[in-house]
Structure 1
Amino acid sequence: MTTLATTPGLPRDLPADPVSLAQRLIRFETVNPPGAEAACVHWIRDLLDVAGLETRLLALDPERPNLVARLRGRGTEPPLLLHAHVDVVPVTGQDWSRPPFAADIVDGELWGRGAVDMKGHLAMMLAALLRLAADGTPPAGDVILAVVADEEAGSATGARFLVERHPELFAGVRYAIGEDGGAELRLGGATRLHPIVVAEKRALWVRATLHGTPGHASRVAGPEGAAAKLHRLLAAIDGGGLGTLMTPVVDRMLAELSGALPEPYAGRLAAFRADPDDPAALTGLDDADVRYLRSLVQHTVNATVVQGGTATNVLPARITVELDGRLLPGEHSREDFLATLRARAGCPMDLDVLVEGERMPRPRLDGFYDRLAAVLKTKDPQGIPFPMVTTASTDARLFPRLGIQTFGWLPLLHGPDRSYRGRLHCPDERINVGSLEFGADCFHALLAGHG
């Protein structure tokens, strides 16, 4: 067991205070790239060692270790996995009002890179685990905490390494809880919403190459020119995707929200559920909410990088377009996605897959989902928990390969005029200290009742 003297700054009284824990985590500069998560991970390891948890460090890169800690339960229920990453995105080029790694608390808000994504979230988990260990009453099943590197840049040295090289560490786990990937709906702040992410869209990044006949640009290029084909491709995806597809989980989400929200939000969501192709269905809602909702009912495609041409007066022989595709969860294949893209564009092109994310299975909203919702409802009777699909990818995409159902669960408590999920990756990222305490209480209630 590691002694307290191993890591400078380790609190000797093991406080289970999520705010202090979050401050300490933010002050480790773990910007990825390069990551350099070792000091932060070692500090967490020492903290949990002293609290009596079993800990193990595993690393593909010694400067970027992962920690797997276990709080032993009574063995009457399967283990539960909590997973969190300690790397954060860069702050370079962003205009911050306060130093991004100072972890200042101002007007009841904790400022700093990682406050939301996801060191504040990890602090909730740690606080709950430390309180549970101090209680001396083991949960029904083991609680496993995986603190990982590299989530913000592909997970190669983090969760992917653990899943592929050390699957035995997660034997018997049926459910996992991690970040919610920024899943957020404001809906005018009509009430406090608690999204429970049950699945993620998966990335399919593609480079489309459009060929045309080169020549002098003083003459009409014609419909077979590369630029004309580019125009047809961009027009085909102008709506943002490849046609609407209502999945069961999104249908349930819309049904629950339309049944719980006041007007006009209830009516707007009900209309969208009935006909997601109706352009007027979401009239009056905030633009960010509209774009998020429309992203949940289609495979989305966005053109992000366009390259081609050699001179202003020369028709290009080739133009390439990089496309960020995101597929809905379920049994949707890359082949179907590429075939639909070609058909909609209506022009010949070469398609090369640059990145393909892991396919997430269709989510199961079973008894464990109900437990997550029940904890939120107990702690915040006026809030609305509901299932949600996030458009982003997190480490949650990897654990289903081990047969683990994953959930994104970030319990937050804030006023209707505040948004914290929307601050991740942004300058002036911050979180309400009351939300940290609320989240820690929710995690403690969940873990204490585990099983």
Structure 2
Amino acid sequence: MSAVSGGPELAAEAVEFCSRLIQFDTSNYGGGRARGERECARWIAQQLADAGYCPRVLESAPGRASTVVRIPGADRAAPGLLVHAHLDVVPVAAEDWSFDPFGGEVRDGAVWGRGALDMKDMAAMTLAVVRCLARDGIVPPRDIVLAFVADEEDTGEYGSGFLVREHAELFSGVRVAIGESGGHAVHLPDGSRLYPIATGERGSAWMNLEARGPAGHGSRPNPGNAVTALAAAVTRLARYEWPVHLTPPVAALLDGLSTHLGVDVDLTDPAGLDRLGEAAVLVASTMSNSLNPTMLSAGYKHNVIPSTATAGVDGRVLPGAEDAFLATVDRLLGDQVSRAFVNYDAPVSARHDSPEFAAMAAALRAYDPQALILPYCMAGGTDAKAFSRLGIECYGFSPGTTPPGFARTEYVHGVDERVLVDSLAFGAGVLKRYLTAEPGRLA
């Protein structure tokens, strides 16, 4: 891997900012309950203002704030670029951690704390890069809009959703966006490194299920028992084996890996993906739709059969498979159980044969000449779902690097989260190169 030439000041500032951002406890508890986002958004705005930019802090509800700034490019008529990162983090059980999850310690070659990988590292790198551009008097080739947003770890309604609904003018002329979570190193069985760039993500279909039946005494038979009907429907959903549906990025990822590694992957074999090593996780959850029961509620007394029983389920839908997903759910629910969306965000997709994808790939290869760059589809969701409603083509590109065996996916939303200092330096350098080059002209 080549040495990072983003400069020691850029790398040092990315580390400093990541540490400081972690120290803001921006835990998002869902249902509109969160903390620390306003203070964090204001701090970011101050760093931008100190560099000569003109940021805006926009509050969607008390304490729920996002910071947005537009950096003018050399060609104001060129399609603009959005760089987005969320400020909120999932809550922690501090007693399970071996250090203060909001301490932001810098030691042993890492920055430690909640959000280090999801995604205060990206926020820190972005902030460091644009301050570097201001110091060096560098004007990007196109307008760049930065959005540091609230509420991604819930529905996004207080963050990206609010910005898209109420302040769409801030994104005028923007045609492309980057955000979490692609561009990081994945180590392959042959010792090479894959940097997957997300060109799609599954849609989110959160639903409440409700079964209705006659109430009655618990000692008597009740063929219409709502609890029984709901339990049977939830069991059918949980046990259903969703058919394989390969979207273009997943097919391209599999083809690229098979060619690179010289292996054939048998998708009918449960162990077939094991031949891909660490890359298997990129494929396993994105070959099909999925649905998991997550909540159950019924009754109020042991000897009373209730008239209603409810459940919550988390459905994830691949691009192009929405109709098939809903038809399958309705068939499995049966006649006695109904569904209602709590939240639905459509799948997101972008082109992997675009100049933009090529520009990201070239920026990565500038720092790792042997990098294998392939598209993939994210299993979960990001703020890209909201921004795509403005006609913006969204990619997951948050570059970073780790050594073999670094349990990145386990730390995200897990215990003892940390990001390596070398990853922040690498990612900041890659981002600077990408943001200062015209798509399709990056050598």
Same fold (TM over 0.5): yes
Q: Please, which of 342, 357, 376 is the counterpart of residue 388 of structure 1?
A: 376
Question: Residues 231, 173 of structure 1: CA spacing in aligned structure 2 closer, same or farther, 3 A cutoff?
Answer: same
- SS for the counterpart of 1:237 is helix
Mapped to 1, the partners of 2:280 and 2:341 lie a distance apart of 29
How far did 1:59 drift? 2.2
The equivalent position to 1:307 in structure 2, one of 277, 297, 302, is 297
Is 1:321 aligned to 2:315, yes or no?
no
How many residue pairs align between the two structures? 425
| Bigger mean CA deviation after superposition, 342-351 or 101-110 | 342-351
> 1:27: which partner in 2?
23
What is the CA distance between 1:419 and its match in structure 2? 2.7
Q: Distance in 2 between matches of 1:189 and 1:217?
A: 61
Code of the aligned partner of 2:198: V
C-alpha change, 1:305 and 1:190, in structure 2 (3 Å) is farther
Looking at structure 2, the residues matched to 256 and 283 of structure 1 have their Cα atoms a distance apart, in angstroms, of 16
Q: Deviations over 1:340-377 (max 9, x none)?
A: 213235553222222212x2344222111121122222
Gap runs ≥5 in structure 2: 1-8
Contact 1:87 1:152 in 2 (8 A): yes
Which residue number in structure 2 is paired with residue 360 of structure 1? 347
Aligned equivalent of 1:370, options 327, 343, 358: 358
Aligned to 2:422, the other structure's residue is in SS state: helix
CA distance in 2, matches of 1:312, 1:188: 55
Closer, same or farther in 2 for the Cα pair 1:60/1:345, shift >3 Å? closer
Distance in 2 (CA, whole Å) between partners of 1:285 and 1:94 is 36
Q: Give 1:377's aligned amino acid.
A: R
Q: Which moved more, 1:195-204 or 1:89-98?
A: 89-98
Q: Secondary structure at the match of 1:83?
A: strand
How far residue 321 of structure 1 moved from its aligned partner, in angstroms, is 2.2
Amino acid at match of 2:407: S
The one-letter code matched in structure 1 to 2:90 is V
Secondary structure, aligned partner of 2:350: coil
Partner in structure 1 of residue 88 of structure 2: 87
Contact 2:90 2:153 in 1 (8 A): yes
Contact 1:75 1:140 in 2 (8 A): yes
Name the CA shift for 1:38/1:15 in 2 (closer, same or farther; >3 Å): farther
Pairing partner for 1:282 from 267, 273, 297 = 273
The within-5 A match list for 1:75-224 is: 75=75, 77-92=78-93, 95-180=96-181, 190-212=191-213
Q: Which moved more, 1:341-350 or 1:412-421?
A: 341-350
1:429 equivalent in alignment to 2:417? yes
Contact 2:10 2:428 (8 Å CA) reproduced: no
Over residues 290-318 of structure 1, what are the superposed CA-to-partner deviations in whole Å (9 max), with x where a residue is unaligned?
A: 67634212221111112224444555554
Is 133-142 or 392-401 further displaced after alignment? 133-142
Would the alpha carbon gap of residues 436 and 362 (structure 1) be closer, same or farther in structure 2, given more than 3 Å must change?
closer
Letter of the aligned partner of 1:390 in structure 2? M
SS of structure 2 residue aligned to 1:153: coil
Tell me the SS of whatever aligns to 2:84: strand
**Matched residue type, 2:25:** E
Does structure 1 retain, via aligned residues, the 8 Å contact 2:183–2:398? no
Between the aligned partners of 2:215 and 2:281, the Cα distance in structure 1 is: 38
Q: C-alpha distance in 2, partners of 1:226/1:62?
A: 40
How much is the aligned-residue C-alpha RMSD, in angstroms? Answer: 3.0
2:322 to 311, 328, 332: 332
AA paired with 2:117? V
Counterpart Cα distance in 2 of 1:246 and 1:96:
39
Q: Is the 8 A contact 1:204 1:355 kept in 2?
A: yes
Q: Partners in 1 of 2:108 and 2:371 — Cα distance?
A: 24
- Segment of structure 1 superposing worse, 167-176 or 431-440: 167-176
The answer to whether residue 67 in structure 2 is matched with residue 72 in structure 1 is no
SS in 2 for 1:386: strand
Please give the TM-score of this superposition, normalised by the length of structure 1.
0.84
Taking the TM superposition and a 5 Å limit, the aligned residue runs for 1:217-256 are 225-226=225-226, 228-230=228-230, 232-239=232-239, 242-256=242-256
Instruction: Evaluate the alpha carbon distance shift between residue 431 and residue 15 of structure 1 in structure 2; reply closer, same or farther with a 3 A threshold.
Output: closer
Q: Is the Cα contact below 8 Å between 1:375 and 1:445 reproduced in 2?
A: yes
1:14–1:47 Cα contact (<8 Å) kept: no
- In structure 1, how many angstroms separate the alpha carbons of the residues matched to 2:107 and 2:94? 23
Please list every run of 5 or more consecutive structure 1 residues that lacks an aligned counterpart in the other structure. 1-12
* Structure 1 residues 215 and 422: alpha-carbon distance in aligned structure 2, compared to 1, 3 A threshold: same
The aligned counterpart of 1:259 is 259
Call closer, same or farther: CA 1:417–1:280 in 2, change over 3 Å: closer
> Residues of 1 paired with 2:46 and 2:366: CA distance?
33
Given that 2:242 and 2:290 are in contact with CA atoms closer than 8 Å, whether structure 1 keeps it comes out as yes
Secondary structure of 1:449's match? coil
Q: How does 1:39-58 map to 2 (within 5 A)?
A: 39-58=39-58
Give the letter aligned to residue 172 of structure 1. Answer: G
Please give the secondary structure, in 2, of the residue aligned with 1:282: helix
2:47 is the alignment partner of 1:60: no
3-state secondary structure, aligned to 1:414 = coil
- Please list the CA deviations of residues 56-114 of structure 1 after superposition, one character each: whole Å capped at 9, or x if unmatched: 22222353332212222111632211111212222236511111111112321110111
Q: 2:337 aligns with which of 330, 340, 349?
A: 349
- Tell me if structure 1 keeps the 8 A contact 2:204–2:347: no
Kept in 2, the 8 Å contact 1:16–1:126? The answer is no
The one-letter code of the counterpart of 1:402 is L
Give the whole-Å Cα distance in 1 for the aligned partners of 2:153 and 2:119.
11
Please state whether the residue corresponding to 1:156 is helix, strand or coil.
coil
